[in-house]
Amino acid sequence: MKFLDEYRDEALAAKLVDEIRHVVTKSWVLMEVCGGQTRSIAKYGIDRLLPDELELVHGPGCPVCVRSLEMIDKAHAIAARSGVIFCSFGDMLRVPGSDCDLLVLIARRGCSRRLFADRLPEDRAGKSGEEGCIFLQSVSRPPRPQMRCRFFRPAR
């Protein structure tokens, strides 16, 4: 299939693995930073193709990948309450909590006006009268990735 098979070329992969074996002359430890990369390594069995001298360490993951389930569940509990205007960028919409994800919550509430995605919370707060809004945010800020819920009041 065009645009897929070019990236699943076994002969090309074997050639690259040979080149890696050729240049690996001592032990190396490599860490991939993204959960998507970890998934691809496992899905295609790339770790088993590499020489033994090359050790892969999985982590640390972006704030979306390493989010705590408890934090997601708390955010979902807030988002599920009627009257709450809940904002999130698209990266958090499909992250599953214990029960569901934010996309399902949008469907369950049946009122998309109250649950916004991909909107700047400052803009929403300014348009929502006295209510303000809750903004769920994943943050890549040292020393560790964070998730937080912030409350925005409308400008007075």
Partner 1 sequence: MSVFQASALTEIAQSAKLGMLLDEAAIPISEEVKGACEILGLDPLYVANEGKFIAIVAHQDANRAVETIRTHSLGKHAAVIGEVVDEHAGLIMMKTRVGGMRVVDMLSGEQLPRIC
Binding residues (CB under 8 A) for partner 1: these are 1, 4, 8-10, 13-14, 17, 34-36, 42-49, 62, 64-65, 91, 94-96
- Residue nearer to partner 1 on the CB measure, 47 or 53: 47
Query: Measured from the CB of residue 1, what is the shortest distance to partner 1 in angstroms?
Result: 5
Query: Measured from the CB of residue 41, what is the shortest distance to partner 1 in angstroms?
Result: 9
Query: Measured from the CB of residue 146, what is the shortest distance to partner 1 in angstroms?
Result: 16
- Residue nearer to partner 1 on the CB measure, 4 or 155: 4
Comparing C-alpha atoms, which of 103, 80, 92 is closest to residue 148? 92
DSSP string, 94-107: T---SS--HHHHHH
- CB-based burial of residue 13 (10 Å sphere; 0-12 exposed, 13-18 middle, 19+ buried)? middle
- Residue nearer to partner 1 on the CB measure, 14 or 78: 14
Query: Measured from the CB of residue 95, what is the shortest distance to partner 1 in angstroms?
Result: 6
> b/e per residue, 38-74, with b = 16+ CB within 10 A?
beebeeeeeeeebeeeeeeebeebebbbebeeebbee
Assigned token pair, 38:
């970890």
- Residue nearer to partner 1 on the CB measure, 82 or 98: 98
